[in-house]
């Protein structure tokens, strides 16, 4: 199965009239090929179809007549991703779009590196960033930095994190240390706890440690009270932590709670009174709304959240290969340092696999959709 940018049409670029009788047919123009590494079978097959749809939309909207997409099935496994990458490259792919997860990306990138083929995966695992590998999911580092920046603009100086001791919590802790350090702020208070522990049962202890309990003035040194507490939890666990903090006597405000981008699709968070006014980062609402509408018009359904990353990867790949079909050995021209408008807003690719995204900051409002409290802004330094 291959997707060509040449849609049926009667005139315009990509259209070649039938040769006249007696004249040799014009040679078929060479197309630059992009491998799409998608979970078309396995437990993520339904998501894989949404990702495929998004890449088709990108090809239709931003591809050229000389670009061809080659969808190849990863089966949702690292082994499958590596095999799909090798198959696509054997068939002439000069750039790989996908795969979905961090482990799949590591496997596919290993196969692509030897061939010098760039990879634009959908994962938000920042650990996969490397030369010629740009993770296009909204990473935890991007999310934490956007919240810290917005809160600092309003005067916040001291930040804290309460998160499970796992990959997510460790990445958020590293991101918070980096964000506060870059702004010249005091070191953050990091509270990591066993992932199996009940957040509600831990809330009172967390509150004491960050100086947020009613007796904090007696127990904490002056200036050591956290002003913003970022929660590394989702769904019921986030609600439990917030409720536990309120039960421990934490006043919110002055303490502001914050979370991560998964909160944008969780309406249940608005049912917890302690989360009213809590902040979280997310995509540019105007850009994402426009993408969702175009996708629904084309495919009759709303896209998965990660479909935005698939659209961006496919659009960047098509852009990198525009005009390259005339030279089989041409290197894809990745638009490093340029601002590109993607499905989730503006983004910029930087050397070393670093991606910057313009994220907005939302606030939870009980009984209504989250409101934007800080517009989408594109950071000005690599790795932000």
Q: What is the pLDDT of residue 29?
A: 58
Six token digits for residue 263: 């909160």
Q: What is the pLDDT of residues 272-298, one digit of tens each?
A: 999 999 999 999 999 999 999 999 999
1 has a pLDDT exceeding 80:
no
Helix axes 307-320, 285-299, angle to 10 degrees: 90
Q: What is the pLDDT of residues 106-160, one digit of tens each?
A: 999 999 999 999 999 999 999 999 999 999 999 999 999 999 999 999 999 999 9
- What is the length of the chain? 384
332 has a pLDDT exceeding 60:
yes
Q: Which domains does the chain have, with CATH numbers?
A: 3-11+29-137+306-353 (3.40.50.2300), 140-282+360-377 (3.40.50.2300)
φ and ψ at residue 271, rounded to 5 degrees: -85, -10
The pTM (predicted TM-score) of the whole model is 0.86
What strand order describes the sheet that includes 32-38?
A: 3-4, 67-73, 32-38, 93-97, 119-120
**How buried is residue 345: exposed, middle or buried, by Cβ count under 10 Å (0-12/13-18/19+)?**
buried
What strand order describes the sheet that includes 355-357?
A: 339-342, 345-349, 355-357
Instruction: Give 216's pLDDT tier (boundaries 50, 70, 90).
Output: low
Q: pLDDT: is 234 or 10 the higher one?
A: 234
Spatial separation of the C-alpha atoms in residues 313 and 98, rounded to whole Å: 8
Average pLDDT taken over every residue of the chain? 88
Contact 168, 140 (CB under 8 A): yes
Q: What is the pLDDT of residues 70-91, one digit of tens each?
A: 999 999 999 999 999 999 999 9
Q: What is the pLDDT of residue 334?
A: 93
């Amino acid at each position: 199965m291959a997707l060509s940018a040449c849609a049926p049409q009667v005139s315009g670029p990509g259209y070649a009239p039938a040769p006249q009788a007696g004249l040799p047919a014009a040679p078929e123009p060479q197309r630059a090929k992009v491998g799409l590494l998608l979970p078309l079978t396995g437990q993520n097959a339904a998501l894989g179809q949404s990702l495929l749809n998004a890449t088709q939309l990108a090809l239709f909207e931003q591809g050229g007549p000389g670009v061809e997409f080659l969808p190849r099935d990863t089966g949702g496994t690292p082994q499958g991703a590596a095999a799909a990458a090798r198959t696509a490259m054997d068939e002439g792919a000069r750039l790989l779009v996908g795969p979905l997860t961090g482990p799949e990306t590591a496997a596919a990138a290993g196969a692509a590196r030897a061939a010098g083929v760039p990879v634009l995966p959908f994962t938000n695992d920042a650990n996969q960033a490397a030369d010629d590998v740009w993770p296009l999911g909204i990473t935890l580092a991007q999310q934490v930095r956007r919240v810290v920046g917005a809160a600092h603009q309003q005067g916040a100086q001291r930040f804290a994190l309460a998160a499970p001791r796992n990959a997510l919590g460790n990445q958020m802790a590293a991101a918070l240390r980096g964000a506060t350090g870059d702004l010249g702020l005091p070191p953050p208070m990091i509270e990591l706890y066993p992932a199996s522990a009940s957040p509600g049962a831990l809330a009172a202890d967390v509150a004491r440690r960050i100086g947020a309990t009613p007796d904090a003035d007696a127990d904490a040194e002056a200036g050591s009270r956290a002003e913003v507490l970022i929660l590394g939890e989702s769904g019921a666990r986030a609600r439990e932590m917030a409720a536990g903090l309120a039960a421990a006597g934490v006043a919110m405000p002055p303490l502001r709670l914050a979370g991560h981008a998964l909160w944008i699709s969780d309406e249940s968070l608005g049912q917890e009174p302690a989360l009213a006014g809590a902040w979280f980062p997310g995509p540019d609402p105007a850009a994402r709304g426009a993408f969702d509408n175009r996708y629904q018009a084309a495919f009759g359904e709303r896209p998965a959240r990660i479909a935005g990353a698939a659209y961006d990867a496919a659009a960047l790949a098509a852009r990198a290969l525009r005009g390259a079909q005339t030279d089989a050995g041409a290197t894809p021209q990745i638009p490093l340092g340029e601002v590109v408008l993607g499905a989730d807003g503006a983004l910029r690719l930087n050397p070393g696999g670093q991606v910057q995204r313009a994220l907005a900051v939302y606030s939870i409002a009980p009984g209504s959709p989250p409101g934007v409290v800080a517009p989408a802004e594109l950071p000005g330094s690599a790795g932000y």
